[in-house]
Amino acid sequence: MTRDSTALDRRLRSIVIVGGGTAGWMAAAALARAPGRGACDITLVESDAIGTVGVGEATIPSLVGFHDLLGIDEADFVRATQATYKLAIEFRDWRAVGDRFLHPFGFYGVGIDQSIFQAYWLDARRRDRGSPLEEWSVSGLAARLGRFGPTQLPRHAALSQLSYAYHFDASLYARYLRTYAESRGVTRVEGEIVDVARTEGGLIDSVRLADGRVIRGDFYIDCTGFRSLLLGESLKTGFIDWSHWLPCDRAVAVQCERTAELSPYTRSTAREAGWQWRIPLQHRIGNGYVYCSGDLADDEAQRALHASLEGAAIGNSRVLRFKAGRRNRAWVGNCVALGLAAGFLEPLESTSIHFIQTGLGRFFAHFPDRDMDPAIVDEYNRLTALEYERVRDFLVLHYSASSRTDTEFWRRCRSMALPETLAYKQAVFERTGRIVTFEEETFLPPSWLAIFAGHRVWPDRHEPILELVATPDIEQRLAAMRSSIRVAVDSLPAYESFLMRCSTPDLRAG
């Protein structure tokens, strides 16, 4: 047998995805689309009797690229999932009650290096000559003015900076991807798993269903949510607890009727013991209160959430229990976990679905054969750990930088000892005005600037780079840039009218 034929013989012949929901069907769709999967059979096992969390309805722009890779028609997706477009997250009452600020997607300015723009903007603010940060972001200004429309992009160069994501019905999204995956050869098996068998070498050998059927594969993807049936329960992979930095451990969620005009952003409102989300879909509003159970009882959280709804509640509220953190390793032997089975960070910046997507991307980049080379597994786990830690730090900053002292919850957040990486990043910014970028960052400097500025965390000095790159007409050039952003955004149609075009059958965004 030749070397090539030997290598070919070691390829994975079958992959079993355990669990459906968003994670399972994203994995199935991505594997089904892989052009070289050849004779590798893809099977997804799920039980209709086991519910899914189903509240992860807000995303970040990376999902647009995922859909492009799958060849998904955006207008079709928007209609099928009752989706809306998202340009930013609005934060209310986070720095102080009555304050609000935006974290927009994309970059600030047009045709300018981000570090140079940041230095100029911070210096202008220091000299009381600044303007609101969101006015320098195409996505931020469009969010604030209620404008949107990708079809207008060729008209103004500034609109090339328009960056967006989606809100959608998570259950409809899983159903949409299921149709996609099954039409491309993925086999769905209905049944509840009652046992997981291991080989003598410690790998997963098979899963047995309640009716006695046995499902075997060369490789397994754990998409069983918080239970983490394969990675946590069977492979006994430990959990790293970050609740001392992210103390919220409950969420109560409920849907309500939509009564207000649609807005192209997610809203996060700080509350006495946590924060509340508002996610506008075409047919309803998603609402949830994320809180610390040590500061607020479940029934009190439910009453507070229902009292704040803008319309009549749809169905009953659900209480979700969780713990912030991640598994020691996301990949063990012949099993990798995605989504909640790998770890959980509260949805403050809408990263839950992003973690699924990046986990899949790393899996493809480190795709194994049946030898399961430990070097490949170790590198996957190293990068996954870094990604979770970077997002953790970004979320912690939202709490620790707050000026609120009105409740014990917020006083603890202000006084907590920070992760070393976050403490270093904040110290560098406060001393120099520079934002440090580490390996595997999900949120780039413009996002960090939005949160620093929103909480009014300012550097002690301006950056010396200003003296190096300054030109006599720099202020006029920046003013012209800001004006061009406003003209470009004003050219966009009103958000809700554009969305209604996208969601109407037989119409396309173009």
Tell me the C-alpha distance between 63 and 411, whole Å.
36
Tell me the C-alpha distance between 139 and 64, whole Å.
15
Where do we find the tokens 């001393």? 431
HSE-up (13 A, CA, CB side) for residue 243: 13
Tell me the C-alpha distance between 427 and 125, whole Å.
19
86 labelled catalytic: yes
Rounded to the nearest angstrom, the gap between the alpha carbon of residue 205 and the centroid of all alpha carbons in its chain is: 33
Tell which residue, 217, 221, 230, has the closest CA to residue 14: 217
Where do we find the tokens 């997002």? 391
Tell me the C-alpha distance between 295 and 282, whole Å.
34
Residue type, 175: R
Q: Return the bridge partners of 152, or none.
A: none
Tell me the C-alpha distance between 23 and 162, whole Å.
27
390 within 8 A of 438, measured Cβ to Cβ: yes
Mark out the alpha helices in 34-137 (DSSP H runs).
Answer: 62-70, 74-80, 114-126
Strand positions, DSSP E, 211-349: 214-216, 219-222, 239-241, 250-256, 265-271, 274-280, 285-291, 313-321, 325-327, 331-332, 335-337, 343-344
H or E, element range at 450: helix 445-454
Instruction: Kindly give, in sequence order, each residue whose CB lies less than 8 Å from that of residue 194, ignoring residues fewer than 6 positions away.
Output: 208, 209, 210
Q: Which residue among 86, 236, 323, 425 is the active-site one? A: 86
Sign of the Cα torsion 460, 463, 464, 469 reads: negative
Between the CA of residue 361 and those of 147, 231, 384, what are the distances in Å?
32, 19, 11
355 within 8 A of 237, measured Cβ to Cβ: no
87 within 8 A of 143, measured Cβ to Cβ: yes
Residues marked active site are found at 86
